[in-house]
Homo-oligomer: A and B are copies of this chain.
């Protein structure tokens, strides 16, 4: 009999739900025992309900699993949630209320003051906000979130720089993959031979979340990092991987060598604890003048490593560079999974 922890997936049929299932297939600590999705899918075997869009096959045990109603009764105590924001806003509190640890990829509660928005390598201590959640005291349940897929790579690239040189201003222009919009998501007629210079609410999320993630836990509150932050978000004809053209201004002086060293040497507790999904190297600086590129570099560190390249002086801010991150792995399912591993390491999963 398995000694792994049972986990459930809310929103199991979507693109991020599929990534959860893929990444959990051989996970040493967690085991999928429960799947929920929309009413339309309820009661059907997973393989039939989901339009599977990954290259690896559906794990055999999951393929046959029946989709449960999206209700806490009968659900395991650890829930990965990959729901649209509007549904998440309603369902996640229900599960937390019923005593579940809700590890959410949704934007619904990310900016709520008592909900930690966490990247374990960056602000792992923010999980202590959990203790302020009313669900926690009532039922033991809680909600932890990870960031938007476009904020994720950016923050991993910024964190070591902020630590060393203190950010004063950041601009980021994204070129985001279509998988970030879910399935069916972006229509092919909209993106073939095209760039869409708009993703609803994305710029606002990037700007807010980046500053919360790099903020400081003061008492019961996160004080957002005080730098100015501006995002411009574009959709491009790429399957997986968000590329970003970033510029930064620091409070302190920095040389190119110091910046690159800050990236390459960046390690944190998840690496020391050897959490199963923690990449050996969270940020890698690529020296080739034309890298990183999504088609070739998106899978670095099994999709959990952020690639950075093209560091050079900026005439307006101080420095500019390119960031690449896998949007459905490090930017979604992998982020939540690492959060769950972090919670377990820190004793929050019992």
Given contacts A187-B183, A234-B175, A320-B230, contact A194 B315 (CB under 8 A): no
| B236 with A197: CB separation less than 8 A | no
Copies per complex? 4
Tell me the complex Cα distance, A228–B80, Å.
47
Given contacts A175-B234, A193-B237, A234-B175, contact A55 B296 (CB under 8 A): yes
CB neighbours of A192 from chain B (8 A): 178, 188, 191-193, 237-239, 295
Q: Of the 9-residue stretches A19-27, A151-159, A165-173, A265-273, which lies at the interface with chain B? A: A165-173
**A256 in the interface, Cβ–Cβ < 8 Å?**
no
| B186 with A187: CB separation less than 8 A | yes
* Extra A-B contacts (12), CB below 8 Å, given A169-B316, A179-B189, A230-B317: A53-B189, A55-B295, A171-B171, A178-B192, A184-B190, A185-B189, A187-B188, A192-B295, A228-B316, A229-B316, A230-B315, A236-B236
Interface of A with B (CB < 8 Å)? 15, 53-55, 169-171, 173, 175, 178-179, 183-198, 207, 228-230, 232, 234, 236-239, 243, 245, 247, 289-296, 299, 309-310, 314-317, 320, 322
Which 10 pairs show the lowest CB-CB distances between chains A and B? Answer: A184-B187, A194-B295, A198-B290, A173-B173, A232-B245, A197-B322, A173-B245, A230-B316, A230-B315, A178-B188
